């Protein structure tokens, strides 16, 4: 298992009630499952619309179960942003 940090932005931060928290997971899917368990309710809905960066690299359309996390890494949770 890798240990790192999940950072929430904008609506995800509001829904989670924290700006960041640790993960202990092998894949992005595992880390997101942990987040859903810790923050049931609004965050579960927000995560469906989010995009993700892993150590600065976009996940894009890759399956979350295929995205491996590194020890000491960072998962950025980015909800859709409005504006120009």
10-residue block means of pLDDT along the chain (84 residues)? Answer: 97 97 98 97 96 98 98 97 61
Q: Indicate the fold that domain 2-78 takes in CATH.
A: Ubiquitin-like (UB roll) (3.10.20)
pLDDT of residue 41: 94
pLDDT of residue 15: 97
Longest CA–CA separation in the chain, Å:
40
C-alpha closest to that of 6 among 82, 81, 78: 78
Token pair 């890759």 is found at 62
User: Which residues neighbour 71 within 8 Å (Cβ) at sequence distance 6 or greater?
Assistant: 2, 3, 4
Q: Domain extents for the chain?
A: 2-78
DSSP state letter for 26: S
| Rounded Cα distance, 8 and 79, in Å | 9
pTM (predicted TM-score):
0.93
pLDDT of residue 81: 78
């Amino acid at each position: 298992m890798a240990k790192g940090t999940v950072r929430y932005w904008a609506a995800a931060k509001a829904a989670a009630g924290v700006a960041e928290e640790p993960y202990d997971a092998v894949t992005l899917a595992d880390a997101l499952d942990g987040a859903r368990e810790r923050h049931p309710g609004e965050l579960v809905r927000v995560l469906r619309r989010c995009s993700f960066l892993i150590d600065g690299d976009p996940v894009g359309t890759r399956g979350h179960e295929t995205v491996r996390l590194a020890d000491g890494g960072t998962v950025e949770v980015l909800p859709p942003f409005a504006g120009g």
